[in-house]
Structure 1
Amino acid sequence: MKRIIMAAAGAALMAGCSASNDADADGNGEVSIKEAAKQAEAQGLRPEPGLYKATITMTGIEIPGMPPEMAGHGAGLTTTSEYCLTEEDVAKGYEEMMKRGQNGECSYERFRLAGGEIDAVMVCKTPEGTARMEMAGTATPTTSDFTAKMAMNFDGAGEGTMSFAAKHERIGDCKVK
C-alpha cells in the first residue's frame, strides 16, 4: 500500500508540470501512463532536476468492521523521504519517470492538468486487489501539493478508504556520489 501512495505522489509531481486537459488520446476511456507522459512532453515542460523532499500525511482511514475506538487511528501520521531527480531521469521523459515504483501495474481513468491544477484518478492492481485513487491539487516544475483518497480491499476486511495529503518540493541539488 505504501508503494502505491509513493507511486501516486511521484506521478503527480512528474506530471504536474503539464498544462493540458484530457490525455486519453486513443479514446478508450483509460489514460495510460504512456498517454499521460506524451501529454506532458508535448507541453515542453519538465520537472527541474534536483533533490526533492516528499512529505506524506495520512488524513483518514475507514475500514469495514473497524472498532469505534480505532476511529481516526493513523490520522496525522507523517512520513518524509528524499529522492533525487537527475538530468538523466528528466531526459528519459515523463513516461519512464511516471512508471517509477509502479511496475506497469497502474493506469489512469482520468488525467487532467490545467493551469497547474491536478485532477486525476489512478487505478493500480495490487496483490490485495484493485486500488483506485482520486487526486487533486497543484504543481509547478519544483513542487506539488495534493490530496488523495484511495479505495481498496483491506486484507479481506472489505472495501475501505484511506486519505492523505502529499507535498513534494525541490530542496537543492542532488548530492554527488
Structure 2
Amino acid sequence: MKRITIIAAAGAALLAGCSGGNADADGNGEVTVKEAANKAEAEGLKPEPGLYKTTVTMTGLNIPGMPPEMEGHGAGLTTTTEDCLTQEEVDKGFEEMVKQGQNGECTYERFALTGGKLDAVMVCKSEGRNVRMEMTGTTTATSADLTASMAMEFDGAGEGTMSFTAKHERIGACPAK
C-alpha cells in the first residue's frame, strides 16, 4: 500500500502545478515525466513547501485467483501519511519530486489538466512489470483530490486491478528539526 501512496502522492505533486495543453514536446505520443515537469515549470506554478497529508482509501480490489469470499476485501482500507516538502525540494523542480516516488520509469499516455481538472494515465515499469494508473480529479498548488484505478500483472496469474481515492493537502509548515 505504501508504494501506491507514493505513486499517488508523486502524481498529485507533479500534476498540482500543470495546466492544459499538449505536454508531449517531442511529439512521439508519450509524455515523459521530464516533459510534464517542463510543462509545469513553463506555467510558472510550483507546489508550496510545507507539511502535506496524503490519505489513500482503497475502493476496489480484483486479484486473479482471489477466492469469491475475499470479494470486497480491503475496500475502505485507509492509509494516511504526512511528508514534508522543503523549499530545497521545490527548488529542484517537479521532475526530481516525482522521481523520488519511483522505483522504475514512468511516462504518461494521457496528460491533461485544465482549470484544475485532471485527466491522466501514467504507466510505470517497475520490477519487470507494467503498472497503468488512470487518474481523474482536481488539483491546485497545495492540494489534489484524485480518483484512480491501477492495473498490473501478477506473476503467472494475470492482470489485477485496484481502485482508490487519494486526497493530498498542505496542512501547515514543516516541523522544526
State whether residues 118 and 136 of structure 1, in contact with CA within 8 Å, keep that contact through their aligned partners in structure 2. yes
- Quick check: 1:156 aligned with 2:156? yes
> Which position in structure 2 is the counterpart of 1:54?
54
Distance of 2:136 and 2:130 partners within structure 1: 20
Identity %: 68
Q: Which amino acid aligns with 1:73?
A: H
The CA deviation at 1:21 is 2.4
Q: Which amino acid aligns with 1:69?
A: E
Gap runs ≥5 in structure 2: none
The CA deviation at 1:97 is 1.1
- Quick check: 1:32 aligned with 2:32? yes
Q: Which amino acid aligns with 1:137?
A: G
Distance of 1:174 and 1:46 partners within structure 2: 17
Q: Which amino acid aligns with 1:30?
A: E
Computed over aligned residues only, the root mean square deviation of the Cα atoms, in angstroms, reads 1.5
Q: Which amino acid aligns with 2:28?
A: N
State whether residues 16 and 141 of structure 2, in contact with CA within 8 Å, keep that contact through their aligned partners in structure 1. yes
Which is worse superposed, 120-129 or 84-93?
A: 120-129
Distance 1:142 1:57, change over 3 A: same
Q: 1:1-177, aligned counterparts within 5 Å? A: 2-127=2-127, 129-177=129-177
Gap runs ≥5 in structure 1: none
Distance of 2:30 and 2:5 partners within structure 1: 20
| TM-score, L = length of structure 1 | 0.94
Length, aligned pairs only: 177
The CA deviation at 1:128 is 5.3
The CA deviation at 1:6 is 1.6
Q: Secondary structure at the match of 1:21?
A: coil
